[in-house]
Structure 1
Amino acid sequence: MDSRFNVFIVCLAIGVTFVNGQRPSPGGCPKITSNAMNNTAKFDINKYAGIWYELERSFNVFEIGLRCITAEYLAKSDGTVGVVNRGISKWGQKVTIEGSGRVADRSKPSYLKVAFKYSPEAPYWIADTDYTNYAIVVSCSDLFGLFRVDSIWILSRTPDLPQSTMDALHSYVDRLGLSSSALSRVDQSNCPN
């Protein structure tokens, strides 16, 4: 292959990574089917709506230095989803960013396209949820199946989950073809209401 093409691919990958705030990996995105873990066939955005605590995440440039992160999802009457992410910076400042999502494929209602101010629309899979305790969320884009950028989040309705549940969620992330070892804990201690 021409070395200029290789340089182009590397520059493109770096650009996509920083635009989407995701981490790079070799290979294509995994094939994700909604709610495979609990065998729920149909995703329900109204049951998913509400506040979720971010317990673990893979590297995401937009969340560097943040703790006490929550995501609030609002099912709107027009079929879109309001998204409000909140956190506390390492300097103690409250950080809020609002966005919106839409179902990207009616046959896959847990597959959304989500956009925040100053960012392009990104794929957003609710890979699994039981609606009342946990959710696994994945964002992934690939370049011809050779290279991908992805983000993984483990969310909960409470600031903590039992270790046995976390172990099962890590196992599921690995079965998706992603790496649970890429996840790091989000500090949810001493958070304001």
Structure 2
Amino acid sequence: MLKALLTAALVALVAADSIPDFVAPGTCAKVANQDNFDLHRYAGRWYQVQIIDIPYQPYTRCIHSDYDYDSVNGFRVTTAGFSPNNEYIRLQGKIYPTKDFPPAHMLVDFPSAFAAPYEVIETDYDSYSCVYSCIGTDNYKSEFGFVFSRTPQNSASAISRCASVFRRNGVDFSSFSAVPHTSDCVYRA
């Protein structure tokens, strides 16, 4: 049922008057998910340090998220950062496992976007997390990727590790962009 809903959302986007920039020809990569994923260890603060640009994400720099886990609802996530106009924006949503997939393959649900997969390909829980999100149908895909780090500074090892992980899983890492984390960032999600 979840796959049918996600496919219907993508079909509606493709059938609209114009195809959004984030929908492209192709198929989603068949990524491997983290084995023995520990939801409790994944909780806490994560910083987006590299992403495949998301046009409906309102922030472009200093992006950070707090993942608060409970076994009934999954993660309550607060994500914040600065917009291109230097406005501090904070959004709340959920990321949660479903019965249809293993724990590392969750669903992300934020008010400003349609529900989408959130697949943790690999994480060590302490320094990096490589996350893939893609919905595909009829040779079109809406593909996003994230490199998360537990710190905004010294994230080079997280980026290097995830670049290797994404490439190994068939995801083009050259489509990722750096998320600026400068000295004027404020982290108060």
Smaller-chain TM-score bracket: 0.7 to 0.9
Give the length in aligned residue pairs: 176
User: Using a 3 Å threshold, how does the CA distance of structure 1 residues 29 and 49 change in structure 2: closer, same or farther?
Assistant: same
1:68 counterpart SS class: strand
2:25 corresponding residue in structure 1:
26
Instruction: Please provide the CA RMSD for this pair.
Output: 2.6
Counterpart check, 1:169 vs 2:156: no
Query: CA shift at 1:99, angstroms?
Result: 0.5
Letter in 2 for 1:52: W
The code of the aligned residue for 1:81 comes to F
By how many angstroms is 1:25 displaced? Answer: 3.5
Out of 21, 34, 43, which is 2:37 matched to? 43
Between the aligned partners of 1:119 and 1:182, the Cα distance in structure 2 is 21
Residue 74 (structure 1) shift: 1.1
How big is the shift at 1:149?
Answer: 1.0
CA–CA distance in structure 1, aligned partners of residues 121 and 50 of structure 2: 15
Distance in 2, matches of 1:129 and 1:120, equals 25
Counterpart residue number, 1:140? 134
Gaps of 5+ in 1: 1-8, 36-40
2:60 corresponds to which residue? Answer: 66
Shift of 1:33: 2.0
Give the Cα separation in 1 of the matches to 2:121 and 2:19.
21
Task: Determine the structure 2 residue equivalent to 1:5.
Answer: none
Structure 2 stretches lacking a partner, 5+ long:
1-10
Report Cα offsets for 1:139-188 as digits up to 9, x if no partner: 100004x2211100100001134545523321221121111000111111
Residue-by-residue CA offset, 1:83-113 (whole Å, 9 max, x unaligned): 1110012333210111012212465101111
Cα distance in 2 for partners of 1:116, 1:52 equals: 17
Matches of 2:135 and 2:175, distance apart in 1: 17
1:181 equivalent in structure 2: 174
User: What SS does the corresponding residue of 1:114 show, helix, strand or coil?
Assistant: strand
Give the stretch that moved more between structures: 46-55 or 167-176: 167-176
Residue aligned with 2:143, SS: strand
Q: 1:165 to 1:124 in 2, by over 3 A?
A: closer
TM-score by length of 1: 0.80
State whether residues 148 and 158 of structure 2, in contact with CA within 8 Å, keep that contact through their aligned partners in structure 1. Answer: no
Provide the identity percentage.
26
Tell me, what secondary structure is at the counterpart of 1:55? Answer: strand
1:16-58 per-position Cα deviation (integer Å, ceiling 9, x unaligned): 975xxx83343321222222xxxxx310111000110110101
Is 1:158 matched up with 2:158?
no
Structure 1 equivalent of residue 8 of structure 2: none
Q: Which has the larger radius of gyration?
A: 1
Give the deviation of 1:11 after TM superposition: 6.2
Sort the Cα spacing of 1:51 and 1:174 in 2 relative to 1 into closer, same or farther, 3 A. Answer: same
Question: Relative to 1, partners in 2 of residues 1:187 and 1:24: Cα closer, same or farther, differing over 3 Å?
Answer: same
Report if the CA contact (8 A) 1:105-1:111 is conserved. no
1:4 alignment partner in structure 2: none
C-alpha distance in structure 2 between counterparts of 1:17 and 1:153, whole Å: 23
